[in-house]
Structure 1
Amino acid sequence: MILYKTEEEIELIRASAQVLAQAHGEVAGMIREGVTTRELDKRAEEFIRDHGAQPSFKGYNGFPFSLCISPNEVVVHGFPGDFVLKSGDVISVDCGVKLNGYHSDSAYTYPVGEVKPEVKALLDATKDSLYAGIEQAIAGNRMGDLAFAIQDHVEKRGYSVVRELVGHGIGKSLHERPEVPNYGKRGAGLKLQSGLVLAIEPMVNLGTKAVVQEKDGWTIRTKDRLPSAHFEHTVVIRQNKAEILTSFAYIEKALQQPYGQTVVD
């Protein structure tokens, strides 16, 4: 069953998304050479709990961390740990927050230090494809319109879309119906209606679209071990323009600050 949200529920998701956006900003401000992914996870969890919320991912189907942190060829669901960031890495940080019974979900992929131009171009194209999909996330369109927009944007630039992993509905549960693929045909699939809240999340590879799952049962990486990028927003379907409930604003502010400075809204 697909659950459409009332305006009151959308406001609760928006409040969750605000804490999430700020948590992402906290993490963004720490990303530099020499930092471990475990340190990023620790800071995110502290911030989320200090603001009266819970990390959506921790304990979800047994997932043991607050963040999914996925460096380089890892597409999604990477475990934080002793991996030390170094110049040339890219790192996807995916986070969810539950506040007052409602979840929000977003992801951002960062370059660390100096990355190869072709890798920076992959990140830019993936981020832009997210917004291309969001542009089609309006009442009356079909899921295939949204999915095609993402696929078309990245494939025209020579990248490949992961097929096995998709976005999702979100609300009282972290993952709700419907699935939100990042590839498809215009005019196909579910008709989008106002009040539907979706986590839209392109996962795009520099090389082949093929992925494999590691022995930990969670980590997904590219089969050819070339880099992958991942960006995600939680949005609500509206009549003429989707409303983005999550935000990258705190991330962008943090990235403009020298390391160690506090980001002030």
Structure 2
Amino acid sequence: MPLRGAYHFSGGKQALFDSLIKKIESTADGLYINRCEVLSIKKGKLIELTYMDKDGSASKIEADHLIVSTKWQNMHLVIDRKKKLNLSDFIRPVKISHYPFTIHLGVSPDCIPERMARHVAVISDVNKNIYDDNLIILESNAHEDAKNTSTAMIPLLATVFLPNDQNIWSKDHLSQTADSIIDRLEYFLPFLKENIKFFDIEESIKISQKQRDVVNPKYQMRNAFLSGFAAKKNKTKFGNVYLAGASLLADAGFEGEIISGINAAARVSGKME
């Protein structure tokens, strides 16, 4: 979730993702593979990647460079666990302080202000820290979308950031948090409760738990001594393997995810030294 701004792309986030896939596949060597499992990565002058597709067939791909997300669960295939101690990681380790928890509601358009933006940051108490159970980020579809449905129901997402604590992420506590979110939205959306047409707390909890490996958490790290920024390099000990991910630019929020990808692509193209 963005912390320094909210963005909406025409057609939604999926449209942006789909256009990126089309751009990749439109090139001569472009290849987009979905629902596969990476089995091994051989690092050398050429990167040799072996993967298994959804049908169980194994294939190999060779490339000059490799860009890997810092969130990838199989990072151990890229970076040897027995690598030498990185002084930067020791002095300035990246920690996850908060994860986003989202409840998914279906509401009547009558409870949504006509001029409400698609993304709204709601602060319950201006005297409290925003991470002290105080910030709620709302995301909704425009009223025009509701006119095209027979039920005239608008999807409304409400997201809060919860500490990276196993007890707080228990099912009982998440259920209480969901009720608290709806209560705290009452002053901003006074007719919300009576206009909720759909709310499945069980599914909201399942989705949020699954998205922990995908959606950006809130990272925390010590700022650099000289620059004062919370940033880390995207280089690895392999000259043709680079990293991308919001944890590399912990202060930048959503923008950090994008900028880190641009930086990694610049490394590959030779535009950044």
TM-score (norm 1): 0.25
Q: Which has the higher contact order (CA 8 A, sep 6+)?
A: 1
TM-score (norm 2): 0.24
